[in-house]
Structure 1
Amino acid sequence: MSFYTSLSGLKAAQTDLSVTANNIANVGSMGFKRSRAEFGDIKPPSSTTAGIGTRLKSITQQFTQGNFEASSRELDLAINGAGFFVTRNQATSGDTYLTRSGSLAITSDRYLVDSNRDYVQVLPVDASGNLTATDLASATSLQLPAASATGSALSSIDIGKTGLVTATFADGTTEPLGAVMVANVTNPEGLAQQGNARWSITGEAGTVTSATPGTSGIGTVESGVLERANVDITEELVGLITAQRNFQANAKAIETANAITQTVTNMRT
């Protein structure tokens, strides 16, 4: 029995090593959220059994905020506080994603997209720039106008702390185009990881809510900065050493059990 008990410990330590290694590998990935492996003991078959090992309970992501990195691009955004940007893979699957990575760009046909080429979702606003809807169904992909209603060419766009996208035209006039949607979910750990610092919404994530950034628990939108991975490299290295020691200890336990078994076998012969 001790062989299998220690074997479960070896597998647990190996999983812990893999999770820690993945965190370290993504220390430079913008918007990445570190993971943590959680283990639990296996229920023994009776009260006289010492224990039969450990098992992996879950691998959960930690959605704490990462540090900000200054950028010279106006289209580099970060959320200061809770929330996610909402994007849609409109070109292929049509799937909706949540992300903390705000490195945006403009396509040749003037759509606002993120670094995965997914379309950034914006909410409708009135002439004063106030939200007229906050639900996910009202969000749309933003296509920038080539010119104003009077024919003046688009000069630039600005994204404010509330996510409001404002177009400035060559004649100096401005027009609110919509507000970058920042959404919250009841249980972020219930989101399904899709890679490239994006997640899909599942039933376990709970309700998706949105509001004007800076209100109702939604963070503000910061322009000219990007959010780095929330990985503390020192903490991960300590975790790496701990997992390595756990692996070595379980391997030693197997070695000891094997030596005892060999001794007993020799005594019988």
Structure 2
Amino acid sequence: MSFYTSITGLKNAQTDLDVIAHNIANSETNGFKKSTASFADIVSASVLTDPKLTVGIGARVSSIKQNFALGPTEQTGSALDVAINGEGFFTVVDPTSGQTEYTRNGAFSVGGGGYILTDQDARLQVFPVDASGAISSTTLQDAQIPGTNAAGAEYAGVTISSTGQVVATYADGTNTTIGILALATFIAPTGLKQMGDASWKATGVSGAANYGQPGSSQFGSLLSGTLERSNVDLAEELVSLITAQRDFQANAKAIDTASQISQTIINLRT
């Protein structure tokens, strides 16, 4: 039994190494959130087993949990680089699949059609506004900048305020609010499904998204000209890497010891 018990330890150590390696590989990925592997013991016993003589039979992976702590911020000076100072996710939609995703990576740009896009060409979502710039509906829409304003002046630039107003500037000096950026929060963010590219999708575990304006209620405010970096601490990950390596070696040694004992018994019988 010791062989199979130690094999579970080897597999768990390998899983821990995989998680740590993934964290280290994404230490420079904007908006990335590190993960931590947790383990639980396995005990096989029946109602007739003496609890004082119960022996465990190994361990298993109980969860790989994401850590959504804020990462450090870096000033870039770009008007469309935005970081969330607090809770919330940017809401984006893939125009091809229509799938809604959530991200903390606020590195946006303006595409040829006037849409504000992520690096993966997903469209940023905003609340529509009325003539006074107030939210007119809770139904989200693509953030799209008209190429010219009502007077025919050409588009000159765009800014995003700390409370989410997306304001387009035109050559005649006028400004137009095209929407208010929509942030999303979740009851259980650790239940979000990782989609890659530092983005997530809602699941039954995370619950449905709750949308709101930046700077209101539990939603964080925005930092324009700033990006949130990965929350991976390399020093911490390297220490965890050494620990996982030692766990792997210890379990491998246990298998080697069991093998030597088995070989000794076989030699005695022969």
TM-score of the two chains, using structure 2 as the length reference: 0.95
Q: Where do residues 22-61 of structure 1 align in structure 2 (5 Å cutoff)?
A: 22-45=22-45, 46=49, 47=51, 48-61=53-66
Contact 2:181 2:214 in 1 (8 A): no
Moved more, 143-152 or 95-104: 143-152
Q: CA deviation at 1:44?
A: 2.1
Partner of 2:121: 117
Q: CA deviation at 1:207?
A: 2.9
- In the alignment, which of 80, 101, 106 is matched to residue 105 of structure 2? 101
Residue type of the alignment partner of 2:60: R
Contact 1:131 1:212 in 2 (8 A): no
Partner of 1:66: 71
Q: Give the secondary-structure state (helix, strand or coil) at the position aligned to 1:117.
A: coil
Q: Find the aligned partners of 1:56 and 1:40 in 2 and give their Cα distance.
A: 6
Q: CA deviation at 1:116?
A: 1.0
Q: CA deviation at 1:87?
A: 0.4
Partner of 1:194: 195
Q: Find the aligned partners of 2:213 and 2:67 in 1 and give their Cα distance.
A: 25
Q: CA deviation at 1:131?
A: 2.3
Contact 2:126 2:143 in 1 (8 A): yes
Partner of 2:10: 10
Aligned Cα RMSD in Å?
1.2
Contact 1:78 1:226 in 2 (8 A): yes
Q: Percent identity?
A: 49
Q: Find the aligned partners of 1:154 and 1:255 in 2 and give their Cα distance.
A: 71
- In the alignment, which of 129, 132, 137 is matched to residue 128 of structure 1? 132
Contact 2:186 2:206 in 1 (8 A): yes
Q: Find the aligned partners of 2:249 and 2:11 in 1 and give their Cα distance.
A: 12
Contact 1:166 1:174 in 2 (8 A): yes
Q: Find the aligned partners of 2:42 and 2:163 in 1 and give their Cα distance.
A: 49
| Structure 1 unaligned regions, length at least 5 | none
Q: Find the aligned partners of 2:63 and 2:144 in 1 and give their Cα distance.
A: 41
Q: Find the aligned partners of 1:16 and 1:131 in 2 and give their Cα distance.
A: 46
Q: Find the aligned partners of 1:172 and 1:265 in 2 and give their Cα distance.
A: 90
Q: CA deviation at 1:49?
A: 3.1
Q: Where do residues 76-91 of structure 1 align in structure 2 (5 Å cutoff)?
A: 76-90=81-95
